[in-house]
Structure 1
């Protein structure tokens, strides 16, 4: 495909957010293209650990237009089922996904449009939807001693299966869903697991699943109400509940630093281990947009809904509540994708 191509709307990212945008763009009749850096369809779901399961049944985890089929034998689908669903989704709607294409820079073209330089040619577009997610930008905190620890360190992105840690002592760092789920996954395999968090872990009530989270987030934006963080931080999935009931999921306060053998707390307590797994989150993968000058003095990109405050041609989709309520979820991204595409259709006439 290398060379120079034009389109009305360029979508960067072929995961769930990019596909939801493509669905609504197809219905407008606008010319568009989706550039995806991955080798295969499925978005970040193809890289998650093997035992990961959704917070909700398939019926409440669907992109617009195509309900996710249930996974036989499971109330909540696993990551591989979601990846297969996304692959089928883009095929079903004949979405123009080009992969693997890595977008390097996006700049103003000087003629009212935008110019995207990739590793496979250049695209000119009148508008852009950034849907790159965050999986490619794992965050590692600046914990002293990380460079001297003699064991293995990996981020959530590198975790696939608990069996490879059999017989080991493992520290899991992070008080969110990934930390709780991976700690619970390891509890039945590793010799010992210590789960450490910066503040006491708070599990949401057992009845709150992905659908409820979406409804709470939507109500919060529309007419106020409680924030999800007021209720808790961690969805009590079945494996997390089982590990908690079995007494295998007690959280410990964050250590002060690492030495060659493992974590060290301020009071001098040590816990030698072979592996530290950093479940410490991600940052939005917005590097290609740097040349557009969208960030404010604090380094953030202000948005009005999904629209970048500094440039109405650019929309950001699927990065979390700052780009739409629950927009980083399967059930939530469809609504914000529709809003973004509606605005772009009006802008482009």
Structure 2
């Protein structure tokens, strides 16, 4: 290949960043990948200890590298870390710098300058934002939180039930993480799930096939994320039956979310007060893209302005791994590479200065 003439910087080396690097090379680009952590697997190594992928191994692979082992098992967090590290090893002629946190991205209208925490200034013809959301946990304002004497934390900081043994714990949320963490905490703690609306349990296996078989054969994986929001506003929880059974039998205590926190108590919606040691927020994440704030690429809520991953404010800027970016599967191992192949042709054309080449 020719020496790099049109460098592209990819921010993030998790599944989205690695998918972007593969697609960039396929389009003749020469990417530099910058990863804030020390791992070429993004945030996977920081997820909670018991986490398994929701999709079987056969549906969790990225292009060019099957997931090893039994294709019907649900890989553990550490297996995904190993898989992504191997994937990074096999990306020919791609430089991945770990321990390199991006703090700011600027443009002069022709190219980009990417600033890092160690003071480096890197030039690029195009930028791929693939930094995910784990670094930006959503912590909703809770009445009285400033007075709470207990431990108020987010699931991003949760690893396992051991630190909570014997405690009274409230988990706030109703999605997969909230249900799973509340369920495993219940083995060692007294736990209540505080939710806005009852979760909708989706069977993991139907008629002998994992759900992801049907997502593939029906094409549901290609549904635009916005359609799913229109079809169901309640949290969806993938379940082999264990969680729903515990929920319906009352073994997993659940209540409408509390109205406030006061010192060492929660005040429930019905006015009852109860001592609580810890409150864990399983309230999701927001895109971790604060480094774009000066670029004018974000809306008033700090979310990227884009259409299918293409910036609507800044030519040469694209996104990967946003929830619902192009489809139901956009921010998953199985779906992000499709999105990478969708946004990369536009970025390749821009990086090659297509405008000037045709006299514009």
Q: What is the CA distance between 1:206 and its match in structure 2?
A: 4.0
- Alpha-carbon spacing, 1:59–1:12, altered in 2? closer, same or farther (3 Å): same
Equivalent in the alignment of 2:202: 204
Q: What is the CA distance between 1:154 and its match in structure 2?
A: 1.5
Q: Is the 8 A contact 1:57 1:70 kept in 2?
A: no
Bigger mean CA offset, 317-326 vs 24-33: 317-326
Q: Is the 8 A contact 2:48 2:159 kept in 1?
A: yes
Classify the secondary structure of the residue corresponding to 1:179: helix
Gaps of 5+ in 2: 353-360
Equivalent in the alignment of 1:219: 223
Equivalent in the alignment of 1:332: 335
Gaps of 5+ in 1: none
Classify the secondary structure of the residue corresponding to 1:330: coil
Q: What is the CA distance between 1:10 and its match in structure 2?
A: 0.7
Q: Is the 8 A contact 2:33 2:96 kept in 1?
A: yes
Map of 1:1-349 to 2, 5 A cutoff?
Answer: 8-70=7-69, 75-94=73-92, 95-109=94-108, 112-120=110-118, 121-190=120-189, 192-207=190-205, 209-210=211-212, 212=214, 215-220=219-224, 229=232, 233-237=236-240, 240-241=243-244, 243-244=246-247, 247-296=250-299, 300-322=303-325, 324-349=327-352
The count of aligned residue pairs is 341
1:112-135 Cα deviation digits (max 9, x unpaired):
111111124111111110001111
Q: Is the 8 A contact 2:203 2:241 kept in 1?
A: no
Give, in whole Å, the separation in 2 of the partners of 1:98 and 1:38: 9
1:207-263 Cα deviation digits (max 9, x unpaired):
3745655742413579x7895636852111565356447642242101000112221
- Alpha-carbon spacing, 1:240–1:212, altered in 2? closer, same or farther (3 Å): farther
Q: Is the 8 A contact 1:165 1:189 kept in 2?
A: yes
- Alpha-carbon spacing, 1:259–1:235, altered in 2? closer, same or farther (3 Å): same
- Alpha-carbon spacing, 1:219–1:104, altered in 2? closer, same or farther (3 Å): closer
Bigger mean CA offset, 231-240 vs 55-64: 231-240
- Alpha-carbon spacing, 1:245–1:143, altered in 2? closer, same or farther (3 Å): closer
- Alpha-carbon spacing, 1:165–1:225, altered in 2? closer, same or farther (3 Å): closer
Give, in whole Å, the separation in 1 of the partners of 2:241 and 2:197: 23
Bigger mean CA offset, 129-138 vs 227-236: 227-236
